[in-house]
């Protein structure tokens, strides 16, 4: 993708984020997005088929880096030289979510929240499955996995909507401590 296309996508993403801060996802029209992004209708549709596709692409863009296996030193954190245990992985995710809060906070505060959480949970499933692969449970693994994913997703929702004063390290510690019987 060339720079011009990247700039256009970013303008569309930013317009969509701004609209999500003040309107419900269902009430936002493609026309409002293109008006705010100052792009043409055909330009929008060259990048996205629908606003649902736009939301999916935004989630994919946010989560692709957050859940990347290749960790590099970043401005707000450095997990590039860690052993990648579960608490470090969770803390890394929380740093990214905190750093890109403007992009996704609007998702959680309106009707797009469940769509956003659905994408988030699908990425969480892969991560938690990796850490659970060698653990034996007396109950079905799918049940345990569902409990952990939902617990973490709701922890993130709680953190973002009500208690952002806590650091990523503190939130990771809260999660690990309260789920110790399940994940350790």
Average pLDDT of the chain, as a whole number: 82
User: Does the residue 81 lie in any domain?
Assistant: yes
Statement to judge: residues 39 and 84 lie in one domain: no
Q: What domain range includes position 32?
A: 3-48
User: Does the residue 122 lie in any domain?
Assistant: yes
- Summarize the confidence of residues 141-145 as an average pLDDT: 87
User: Does the residue 58 lie in any domain?
Assistant: no
Look at the chain and report how many structural domains it folds into. Answer: 2
Statement to judge: residues 84 and 147 lie in one domain: yes
Quick: pLDDT tens for 11-61: 999 899 888 878 888 889 999 999 999 999 999 999 999 988 998 888 887
Instruction: Give the C-alpha separation, 59 to 73, whole Å.
Output: 22
Statement to judge: residues 80 and 21 lie in one domain: no
115 near 55, Cβ under 8 Å?
yes
Quick: pLDDT tens for 93-119: 888 888 777 666 666 666 667 777 888
End-to-end CA distance of the chain: 43
Whether pTM exceeds 0.85 = no
Instruction: Give the C-alpha separation, 124 to 81, whole Å.
Output: 22
Q: Alpha carbon of 105 to those of 61, 161, 177: distances in Å? A: 15, 8, 25
Instruction: Give the C-alpha separation, 144 to 167, whole Å.
Output: 26
Statement to judge: residues 9 and 40 lie in one domain: yes
């Amino acid at each position: 993708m060339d720079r011009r296309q990247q700039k256009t996508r970013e303008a569309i993403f930013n317009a969509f984020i701004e609209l999500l801060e003040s309107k419900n996802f269902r009430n936002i029209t493609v026309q409002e997005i293109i008006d705010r992004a100052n792009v043409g209708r055909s330009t929008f549709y060259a990048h996205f088929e629908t606003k649902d596709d736009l939301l999916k692409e935004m989630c994919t863009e946010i989560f692709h880096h957050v859940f990347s296996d290749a960790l590099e030193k970043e401005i707000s954190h450095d997990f590039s030289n860690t052993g990648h245990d579960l608490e470090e992985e969770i803390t890394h995710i929380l740093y990214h979510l905190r750093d890109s809060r403007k992009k996704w906070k609007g998702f959680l505060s309106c009707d797009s929240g469940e769509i956003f959480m659905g994408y988030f949970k699908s990425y969480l499933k892969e991560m938690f499955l990796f850490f659970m692969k060698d653990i034996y449970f007396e109950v079905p693994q799918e049940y345990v996995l569902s409990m952990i994913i939902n617990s973490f997703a709701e922890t993130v929702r709680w953190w973002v909507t009500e208690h952002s004063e806590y650091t990523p390290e503190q939130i990771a510690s809260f999660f690990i401590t309260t789920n110790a019987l399940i994940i350790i």
